[in-house]
Amino acid sequence: MKVTADYLRQLIKEETQGEMEFAELEAARQNYKENPRDDEARHQFGMMVEKLVEPLMIDMGLFFEAEAFYNRGELVFTNYKTIDVTIDPLGMMGRYDVQVTPLPGAEDEIEPIDISLDTMKGVAQFVNDKVFRSTGMVGEPETQTELPLENKMRITKSQLQQVIREAIAEETSGKPSSKMADYESDYRDNKRISGKDMLAMYDAEQGLDKMSAEEAMEELDNILTDIRQTSTDARSAKQAYRAEDMLRVITRG
């Protein structure tokens, strides 16, 4: 089977099992947002929370206080000892407003956090990653570690490079997409520029040769923060959190 740009786009757009399950919850939440005074709409959303979110939180030692939702519209998860996690499903800008609050006596152990996230799955992943510092993707089968490829087809590096070239040519009508592409073409076709020189030329064009390590780290931190705050995909946000951790380790070193 020929690996085409369209086929790769299809793979990337495929939803995982967990995402599909949470899509049903998000649909119930949307109905609740549009009809906040409708008891049935609230009940249906609450049922989805109990079905999908409560088991994930229980795995983290947090228990759902259902009466808080049905009395005042807040989703509260607590371990009754050190921490409360309060989620407002009707938060500002249409997002989930999340508050992590230490219980009395746990102020030195738990950091208070206020954050807004786009999806409930993202909220659960955030609690898993940043509060409990656990690894793994919440709401996904344990065996699911990669995109499903039909017939276990493997895409090689050269195939992927060719697909990228074809996609760029399609988008730009065959015109070179960047200076880096020009340097790569010159290196590949004429063998006159070494890989090291090619990279140096690219860095000079982009102004990277004059950037200090501190400036690069600051820009990288800004990029990761932007990804974390704007990503609607839990997996991308998790990778940004992990990259931020690695950046902090590098800076500390």
pLDDT tens-digit profile of 179-206?
555 555 554 554 455 556 666 776 777 7
Instruction: Check whether residue 99 and residue 164 sit in a common domain.
Output: no
Instruction: Check whether residue 157 and residue 102 sit in a common domain.
Output: no
Instruction: Check whether residue 108 and residue 201 sit in a common domain.
Output: no
Does 139 reside within a domain? no
For residues 93 and 99, the model is more confident at 99
Domain that holds residue 114: 17-131
pLDDT of residue 211: 76
**pLDDT tens sequence across 211-238:** 787 777 777 777 777 776 676 666 776 7
Kindly tell me if the per-residue pLDDT of 92 is higher than 70.
yes
Instruction: Check whether residue 118 and residue 176 sit in a common domain.
Output: no
For residues 102 and 141, the model is more confident at 102
Answer for the pair 241, 130: CB distance below 8 angstroms, yes or no. yes
Number of domains within the chain? 2
Instruction: Check whether residue 98 and residue 27 sit in a common domain.
Output: yes
Tell if the pTM clears 0.85, that is, is over it.
no
pLDDT band at 152 (very low <50, low <70, confident <90, very high): very low
Q: Which of 131, 165, 191 is the last residue of a domain?
A: 131
Instruction: Check whether residue 62 and residue 100 sit in a common domain.
Output: yes
Instruction: Check whether residue 159 and residue 247 sit in a common domain.
Output: yes
Instruction: Check whether residue 169 and residue 121 sit in a common domain.
Output: no
Instruction: Check whether residue 49 and residue 78 sit in a common domain.
Output: yes
Does 170 reside within a domain? yes
Does 53 reside within a domain? yes
